Structure 1
Amino acid sequence: MANTPYPESYYAASANAVPPRPSLQADVETDVCVIGAGYTGLSSALFLLENGFRVTVLEAAKVGFGASGRNGGQIVNSYSRDIDVIERSVGPKQAQLLGQMAFEGGRIIRERVARYNIQCDLKDGGVFAALSAKQMGHLESQKRLWERFGHTQLELLDERRIREVVACDQYVGGMLDMSGGHIHPLNLALGEAAAVESLGGSIYEQSPAVRIERGANPVVHTPQGKVRAKFIIVAGNAYLGNLVPELAAKSMPCGTQVITTEPLGEELAKSLLPQDYCVEDCNYLLDYYRLTGDKRLIFGGGVVYGARDPANIEAIIRPKMLKAFPQLKDVKIDYAWTGNFLLTLSRLPQVGRLGDNIYYSQGCSGHGVTYTHLAGKVLAEALRGQAERFDAFADLPHYPFPGGQLLRTPFAALGAWYYGLRDKLGF
Structure 2
Amino acid sequence: MANTPYPQSYYAASANPVPERPALQDDVATDVCVIGAGYTGLSSALFLLENGFRVTVLEAAKVGFGASGRNGGQIVNSYSRDIDVIERSVAPKQAQLLGQMAFEGSRIIRERVAQYNIQCDLKDGGVFAAITKKQMGHLESQKRLWERFGHTQLELLDERRIREVVGCDQYVGGMLDMSGGHIHPLNLALGEAAAVESLGGTIYEQSPAVRIERGANPVVHTPQGKVRAKFIIVAGNAYLGNLVPELSAKSMPCGTQVITTEPLGDALAKSLLPQDYCVEDCNYLLDYYRLSGDKRLIFGGGVVYGARDPANIEAIIRPKMLKAFPQLKDVKIDYAWTGNFLLTLSRLPQVGRLGDNIYYSQGCSGHGVTYTHLAGKVLAEALRGQAERFDAFADLPHYPFPGGQLLRTPFSALGAWYYTLRDKLGV
Instruction: List runs of 5+ in structure 2 lacking aligned partners.
Output: none
**CA shift at 1:247, angstroms?**
0.2
Q: Report deviation, 1:298.
A: 0.2
| 1:93 Cα offset (Å) | 1.5
Q: Deviations over 1:259-298 (max 9, x none)?
A: 0000000010001000000000000000000000000000
Cα distance in 2, alignment partners of residues 57 and 416 from structure 1: 36
Partner of 2:246, secondary structure, is helix
The separation in 1 between residues aligned to 2:401 and 2:218, in whole angstroms, is 29
Write the deviation string for residues 326-351 of structure 1: whole angstroms up to 9, x where unpaired: 00000000000000000000000000
TM-aligned CA deviation for residue 26 of structure 1: 0.1
Question: Mapping of 1:89-104 within 5 angstroms?
Answer: 89-104=89-104
Confirm or deny that 1:322 pairs with 2:322.
Answer: yes
CA distance in 1, matches of 2:36, 2:245: 16
Is the partner of 2:88 in helix, strand or coil?
helix
Instruction: Report the Cα distance in structure 1 between the residues aligned to 2:258 and 2:91, rounded to whole angstroms.
Output: 37
Structure 1 residue 92: Cα displacement? 1.9
Identify the residue that residue 331 of structure 2 maps to in structure 1. Answer: 331
Distance across 1 between alignment mates of 2:290 and 2:91: 36
For 1:63 and 1:103, the matched residues in 2 are separated by 25
- Paired residue secondary structure (2:11): helix
Q: Deviations over 1:17-67 (max 9, x none)?
A: 001000000000000000000000000000000000000000000000000
Residue 107 of structure 1 and its aligned partner are, at CA, apart by 0.2
SS in 2 for 1:260: strand
Show CA shifts across 1:75-108 (max 9, x none): 0000000000000010321110000000000000
TM-score w.r.t. structure 1 length? 1.00
Cα drift, residue 399 of structure 1: 0.3
Q: Pairwise mapping of residues 408-427 of structure 1 onto structure 2 (< 5 A)?
A: 408-427=408-427
What SS is found at the alignment partner of 1:56? strand
Moved segments of 4+, more than 6 Å:
none
CA-to-aligned-CA distance 1:380-399 (integer Å, 9 cap, x gap): 00000000000000000000
Q: What SS does structure 2 have at the residue aligned with 1:327? A: helix
Secondary structure, aligned partner of 2:360 = strand
TM-score normalised to the size of structure 2? 1.00
In 2, Cα distance between equivalents of 1:42 and 1:237:
13
CA deviation string 1:329-383 (max 9, x = no partner):
0000000000000000000000000000000000000000000000000000000
Q: Following TM superposition, by how much is the alpha carbon of 1:251 offset from its aligned partner in structure 2, in angstroms?
A: 0.2
1:200-240 CA distance string (max 9 Å, x none): 00000000000000000000000000000000000000000
SS of the aligned residue for 1:90 comes to coil
State the partner residue of 1:357.
Answer: 357
Count of residue correspondences:
427
Q: Taking every aligned residue pair, what percent have the same amino acid on both sides?
A: 95
Q: How many angstroms apart in 2 are the aligned matches of 1:165 and 1:31?
A: 48
> Take 1:262 and 1:312, find their aligned partners in 2: how far apart are those partners?
18
Taking the aligned partners of 2:417 and 2:155, their CA distance within structure 1 comes to 32
Residue by residue over 1:158-211, the C-alpha shift from the partner in whole angstroms, topping out at 9 and shown as x without a partner, is 000000000000000000000000000000000000000000000000000000
SS of the residue corresponding to residue 12 of structure 2 reads helix
SS in 2 for 1:217: coil
Deviates more, 1:407-416 or 1:32-41: 407-416
What SS class does the counterpart of residue 21 from structure 1 fall into? Answer: coil
Secondary structure of the residue that 2:79 maps to in structure 1? coil
Deviates more, 1:91-100 or 1:37-46: 91-100
In structure 2, how many angstroms separate the alpha carbons of the residues matched to 1:371 and 1:16? 24
In the alignment, what sits opposite 1:198?
198
C-alpha deviation, 1:403, in angstroms: 1.1
Q: Is the partner of 1:256 in helix, strand or coil?
A: strand
Structure 2 matches for 1:302-317, cutoff 5 A?
302-317=302-317
Per the alignment, residue 287 of structure 1 pairs with: 287
Secondary structure in 1 aligned to 2:89? helix
CA distance in 2 between partners of 1:168 and 1:111 (Å): 33
> Please, what is the CA RMSD of the aligned residues?
0.3
